[in-house]
Chain A
Amino acid sequence: MRGEASKARLERMFHEHHDFIWRLLRRLGLSTGSADDAAQHVFLVAAERVDDIKLGSERSFLFGTALRVARSQSRSDRRWVLEEDMDFRRSEAGRPEELVDHQRAIELMGRILDGMTLDLRTVFVLTELEGMTMPEVAALVEIPVGTAASRLRRAREAFRATVAELESKLKSGLKT
């Protein structure tokens, strides 16, 4: 049976990191349902090993476990094909940012992120969506700061190129 100290520590880990881990899993390409399952799995692993996790390394442990879970997800479950079944012409006139409703924007972001490798995607998500600094990202992913910065540059280039392509398609769809 788990001791009170371990239970309190697990409670703290849940409170501080559950939502972060869930968001991370979603942004690494898991559907909402799969992210629910995967987040639970990550915390069950943490619960089993709570006494072995070094104090202060809780976030790092959960992050590493979540990455492994996301990697193990079958590609077929999370692959999005950009443009597939997207109707770029159904919106009414307006600027692209006005044409994409919330749900569609989430879908588009999922497809854009799916176009990146896991390495680039992870750094992009942590920086641009979680607001972490480069040293924080480097420490969490366990890579040199320079490598993290390089990945971020490439991820941003990929992001911008894909968004520009989508934007152009949205605009051309309007003209027809």
Chain B
Amino acid sequence: MSDLKLVPPEQPTPFEQRLLDAVANEAPSAEQRLRVRAALGLPVVEPVPVPVAPVGRRPLLLKAAGGLVVVSAAVVALFLAVGRKQNSADQPAPAPALVAQAPTAPLPAPSAAPSIAPPEAEPSGGVGPLLDDRDNGASNKRSRKAAAADSGADLSEQLRLIDAARSAVAAGNASAASAALTSYRKRFPRGPFGQEAAVLQIEALDLQGNHAQAAAQARSFLARHPNSPHVSVVQRIAGR
């Protein structure tokens, strides 16, 4: 390959490989996917488990290391996984990054109408991959469980409440918007549309004439979400 001639691959040290593997396995959470789909007006499907390391091909650095390192690591990982099978439920596998790095199948063919898959149980250890939103630690584990619990009919209900609030704000009906948002927060405190709900609440407060409170909440929102797609709306209110 011409690019390999231009920049010959180099064999990483074990420490370099450890660092590369750690970030290679990152992926967005199921909640994040849902949130973007909802924002785009795409059908909101139930949360599905995060696919294992959808990172395309292996890094060139690793290619240079040849198959030996990979095969050895896989054998060791398999060995360890089998050895720890009994008590693996609460303990991460010792070398999961390399296991998760194994060449992955390509993404399934896209379709205009994605199939709805039932939520699956949490990985139960063994050779289960280190799922990437791990860098949020326990809170993400909780939110994954919460998302699974909130799935199905709940998602439709969440969307219904958010849409109701949005329509009420658009119609200038602040009290109806607040009622829908209060219901949303009560029923889905960790729902994936929390950011949308917060923005709508700020708009509802502003509609009610409670500009000071709306501006204070808007500033707080901007501090927490400086790159939110809702920034322009919230900034307008924060500046009042």
Residues of A100-137 whose CB lies within 8 A of B: 100, 102-103, 105-106, 108-110, 112, 127-135
> Once bound together, how far apart are the Cα atoms of A105 and B19, in whole Å?
5
A41 close to chain B: CB less than 8 A:
yes
A14→B42 contact, CB < 8 A: yes
B56 close to chain A: CB less than 8 A:
yes
Number of interface residues of B (CB under 8 A): 61
Shortest Cβ distance from B133 into chain A, in angstroms? 7
- Name the contact of B28 in the complex, choosing from A35, A105, A135, A152 (C-beta under 8 A): A35
Complex contacts, B56 vs chain A, CB 8 Å: 20, 130-132
Residues of B134-190 whose CB lies within 8 A of A: 134-137
Shortest Cβ distance from A71 into chain B, in angstroms? 12
Given A106-B135, A134-B6, A163-B13, residue A23 in contact with residue B27 (CB < 8 A):
yes
B10 close to chain A: CB less than 8 A:
yes
A41→B19 contact, CB < 8 A: no
B15→A167 contact, CB < 8 A: yes
B219 close to chain A: CB less than 8 A:
no
Complex contacts, A159 vs chain B, CB 8 Å: 16
B36 close to chain A: CB less than 8 A:
yes
Complex contacts, B7 vs chain A, CB 8 Å: 134, 149, 152-153, 156
Residues of B14-66 whose CB lies within 8 A of A: 14-24, 26-29, 32-33, 35-37, 39-42, 51, 54-61
Interface residue stretch chosen among B77-85, B116-124, B203-211, B220-228: B220-228
A109→B135 contact, CB < 8 A: no
B20→A109 contact, CB < 8 A: yes
B90 close to chain A: CB less than 8 A:
no
Number of A-B contacts (CB under 8 A): 178
Complex contacts, A130 vs chain B, CB 8 Å: 55-57
B18→A106 contact, CB < 8 A: no
A172 close to chain B: CB less than 8 A:
no
- Name the contact of A43 in the complex, choosing from B18, B36, B113, B228 (C-beta under 8 A): B36
B42→A11 contact, CB < 8 A: yes
A32→B135 contact, CB < 8 A: yes
Shortest Cβ distance from A167 into chain B, in angstroms? 5
Shortest Cβ distance from A111 into chain B, in angstroms? 10
Complex contacts, B114 vs chain A, CB 8 Å: 11, 15
A146→B6 contact, CB < 8 A: yes
- Name the contact of B18 in the complex, choosing from A12, A37, A100, A152 (C-beta under 8 A): A100
A34→B226 contact, CB < 8 A: yes
A51 close to chain B: CB less than 8 A:
no
B215 close to chain A: CB less than 8 A:
no
B105 close to chain A: CB less than 8 A:
no
A95→B110 contact, CB < 8 A: no
B35→A129 contact, CB < 8 A: no
Shortest Cβ distance from B24 into chain A, in angstroms? 6
A19→B58 contact, CB < 8 A: no
Complex contacts, B3 vs chain A, CB 8 Å: 133-135, 145, 149
B28→A39 contact, CB < 8 A: yes
Give 1 or 0 for each of A3-35: 1 = CB within 8 Å of chain B CB.
Answer: 000011011101110111011001100101111
> Once bound together, how far apart are the Cα atoms of A155 and B168, in whole Å?
52
Q: Which chain B residues have a beta carbon within 8 Å of chain A's beta carbons?
A: 1-3, 6-7, 10, 13-24, 26-29, 32-33, 35-37, 39-42, 51, 54-61, 92, 96-97, 107, 110-114, 130, 133-137, 195, 225-229
Besides A11-B42, A11-B112, A47-B41, 5 other CB < 8 A contacts?
A34-B227, A36-B35, A100-B19, A105-B22, A131-B56
Query: Nearest 3 pairs between A and B by C-beta?
Result: A134-B3, A131-B57, A105-B22
User: Could you jot down 22 A-B contacts, CB within 8 Å?
Assistant: A8-B112, A10-B42, A11-B42, A11-B110, A14-B40, A19-B51, A23-B55, A30-B227, A32-B135, A39-B32, A41-B228, A72-B227, A73-B227, A97-B13, A105-B18, A108-B22, A109-B23, A129-B24, A129-B55, A145-B6, A149-B6, A149-B7
